Structure 1
Amino acid sequence: MSTPTFALPRQLKAFNLYFDGNSYAGRCDSITLPKIALTTEDHRAGGMDAPKKLELGMEALTASITLSDYDPAIISLIGVDGIALVARGAVQRQGAAAEAVVVNMRGMLTETEFSEWKPGGKSTKTLTYELDYFRYRQVDVEYVEIDIINMVRKIGGVDQLATQRAAIGL
């Protein structure tokens, strides 16, 4: 009888955020990466006993960031498109070396929510970005690349839109 093997989960241990190449170490409280979700529609035609979901593209990519810094350079980016964001994380399984995670994003700052002001209290602001580009790499392997403007959707190394681009001459 063999002994079962198991591994403890990788957990995010540390991260840093870069706006246009500038480090926000010590000033970024949290980052919520975008949800990657497909838009689907039910299809049920003659000869089908139940509906089948048809994939019709993707939902919008939205990221949010909470900063503990009232940096005027960030506040002035509201409505500016093409802002480059890079999140770098260290994920680690107990007893193993840390693995690098690099997330590249590009988009427009569409919303800034300032926190309550009160003396002696921490003040933050939450930034919402509508993204047109998202790439997730872990240990130098690209797992996701979505480039909305150039009609690229690579998941697990497969470009799911390559034949569509070819069909329309892109």
Structure 2
Amino acid sequence: MSVKFPLYLKNFNLILGPTDYAGVAEEVTFPKIAYKTEEVLNAGMAMPIKMPTVLEAMDVTFKLSEQTFEGFVLAGAPTAGLVDAVVYGHMQNALGATSELIYAMRGTILKIDPGSAKNGDLKAGVQTLEMNLMSLVVTRDSIPIFAVDAQNGVIKHGPLDHFESARKNLKLG
């Protein structure tokens, strides 16, 4: 039996929007994948069950290690405020084994927090960007593990495509 070591994200970078700003993000709060539910209680059931319906809105937060011009520019980005963001890095375990991890996202910047300033304190200048996602693709070692595209009705977990037949029936591809 082999021992399983936990993986953690290490040495990740961030590419933001049309400016192609490649920055160091001190911290990224990745979007939560959660479903809205409805309670169902049919005749003969001993208790209600929660049935997932649609995904909840997904938000991501980037904390940049400096106040960047690009962060402010992205709030008024072209194409109706849509911004692309890519976080790429490697998951590494305690033995040093790594696997590539990529989060490719598209959405709108909802909030820019320029942080605070403290004379001589470099850490005080952290800029925070909050973004609401319209699409997200997560890959691990080039294998897609999760994909969602709100506008085109796509939700995929690995090879499972939840709305493939609906898109075919609507001739959406």
TM-score between both structures, scaled by the size of structure 1? 0.89
Match of 2:154 in 1: 152
Separation of aligned partners in 1, 2:62 and 2:161: 28
Give runs of ≥4 in structure 1 deviating > 6 Å. Answer: none
Counterpart of 2:61, as a letter, is S
Match of 1:63 in 2: 60
Match of 1:97 in 2: 97
Match of 1:126 in 2: 128
CA RMSD across the alignment: 1.6
Separation of aligned partners in 2, 1:58 and 1:79: 27
TM-score between both structures, scaled by the size of structure 2? 0.88
Number of matched residues? 165
Counterpart of 1:158, as a letter, is L
In structure 1, the gaps of 5 or more residues are none
The C-alpha deviation readout for 1:50-97, integer Å capped at 9, x for no partner, is: 111122111001000001222222212225422110100111123343
Counterpart of 2:64, as a letter, is L
In the TM superposition, residue 140 of structure 1 has moved relative to its aligned partner by 1.0
Counterpart of 1:154, as a letter, is K
Contact 2:71/2:129 (CA < 8 Å) preserved in 1?
no
Structure showing the higher helix proportion among its residues: 2
Contact 2:67/2:114 (CA < 8 Å) preserved in 1?
no
Instruction: State percent identity of aligned pairs.
Output: 27
